Amino acid sequence: MAWVATAELAAAVSNAGGLGVIGAGHMPPDALQAEIRKVKALTNKVYGVNVMLMSPFVKEVMQVVIEEKVPVVTTGAGNPGEYIPALKAIGSKVIPVVASVALAKRLERTGVDALIAEGMESGGHVGEITTMALVPQIVDAVKIPVIAAGGIADSRGIIAAFALGAQAVQIGTRFVATKECIAHENYKQAILKAKDRSTVVTGVSTGHPVRVISNKLTREYLEREKNGATPEELEEMGAGKLRAAAREGDVERGSVMIGQIAGMIDCVSSVEEVIQEMVKGIPAVLSAIEQTCKEQ
Ligand code: TUI
């Protein structure tokens, strides 16, 4: 989660019992190095870095990750195959995000430690398959652990993911609406205001579909996309827009990347509260399932 998953949020998640991940996004390598050093100062727990493979700095960013011996490296928006040997050589756990069974199988052969199966309910760059359909198909196709992502924000989502065969979950949108997240207040309010149908997917014609809140920017973007704008024109329209929304609070002309589950989120809490609530809610969900099964 570029611009929102900073060292502060990652450290808070790790300190509260999760695995906090810094979203490198398009960060230049020196900025990422500073974030990594900050997270090391804020927690002595395990943390991770997500490397966005479409970043213009991806090679230098990987170099920083290796120099800093980041313990867990997740990747997104592409195939990380060429970087895996170097990451494994320094002992990092490598966990790529995949949106298809084919890439999951290919990456398992390269020796990755686990996979994140991310459904199209997620915010930001998305694939085409829902979490519900993707997770069990990837679980059946590989032997390594699968982490489910996309559309998960409470105990019910966690149990559903486990029922599909996942061994862990990745949670994004819920953690943006927390006190520790440095996202602009307007961005957090946009999550609270969102309903089930508040997001749209833009950029399908560019080959890089992105889920964002529907606003002035997306209306204009989708109109231009429909009228045959070139991928270059569209990329230019999107440039810098996530930063505008997340840091400057321009949620009308900026790109508010959030998942479909935002419709369920109605308060800004602390990271600790979010995690505690999710974990403590699990037994009640399990007994409700048991009850339903008994009634069949
Ligand atoms: O990467 C994300 N979420 C992101 S990246 C991002 S920045 C961006 N902006 C514009 C265009 C593209 C990126 C904002 N949000 N999530 C992980 C993720 N990875 N979701 C889907 C994928 C994915 C898709 C295709 C991973 C691999 C993949 O494979 C392609 C191939 O080579 O087979």
Quick one: 8 and 78 in the same domain? yes
Residue 186 vs residues 64, 133, 248, 260: alpha-carbon distances, Å? 32, 33, 9, 18
Instruction: Name residues whose C-beta falls within 8 Å of residue 72's C-beta, 6 or more positions apart in sequence.
Output: 19, 21, 46, 47, 48, 49, 92, 93, 95
pTM over 0.95: yes
Q: Is 119 within a domain?
A: yes
Instruction: Residue 167: give its domain's CATH number.
Output: 3.20.20.70
Distance between Cα 269 and ligand 1 center (Å): 28
Quick one: 88 and 133 in the same domain? no
Query: What pLDDT was estimated at residue 147?
Result: 99
Ligand 1 pocket: which of 74, 95, 97, 120 to mutate (most atoms within 8 A of CB): 97
Q: Is 14 within a domain?
A: yes
Distance between Cα 295 and ligand 1 center (Å): 42
Distance between Cα 46 and ligand 1 center (Å): 24
Domain count, the chain: 3
Ligand 1 pocket, residue 103 CB under 6 Å: yes
Helix axes 271-280, 155-163, angle to 10 degrees: 60
Quick one: 2 and 57 in the same domain? yes
- Give the pLDDT band of residue 91 (cuts 50, 70, 90): very high
Ligand 1 pocket, residue 94 CB under 6 Å: no
Q: How do residues 109-124 score in pLDDT, each as one tens digit? A: 999 999 999 999 999 9
- Give the pLDDT band of residue 143 (cuts 50, 70, 90): very high
Q: Shortest CA distance to 169 belongs to which of 18, 17, 6?
A: 18
DSSP state string for 28-52: -HHHHHHHHHHHHHH-SS-EEEEEE
The three-state secondary structure class of 6 is coil
Q: How do residues 225-239 score in pLDDT, each as one tens digit? A: 999 999 999 999 999
Range(s) of the domain holding residue 51: 1-97
**Which of the listed residues 148, 171, 194 is the one where a domain comes to its end?**
171
Quick one: 161 and 232 in the same domain? no
Q: Is 180 within a domain?
A: no
**Which of the listed residues 56, 82, 97 is the one where a domain comes to its end?**
97
Query: What pLDDT was estimated at residue 16?
Result: 98
- Give the pLDDT band of residue 104 (cuts 50, 70, 90): very high
Query: What pLDDT was estimated at residue 221?
Result: 96
The three-state secondary structure class of 127 is coil
Ligand 1 pocket, residue 81 CB under 6 Å: no
Quick one: 83 and 67 in the same domain? yes
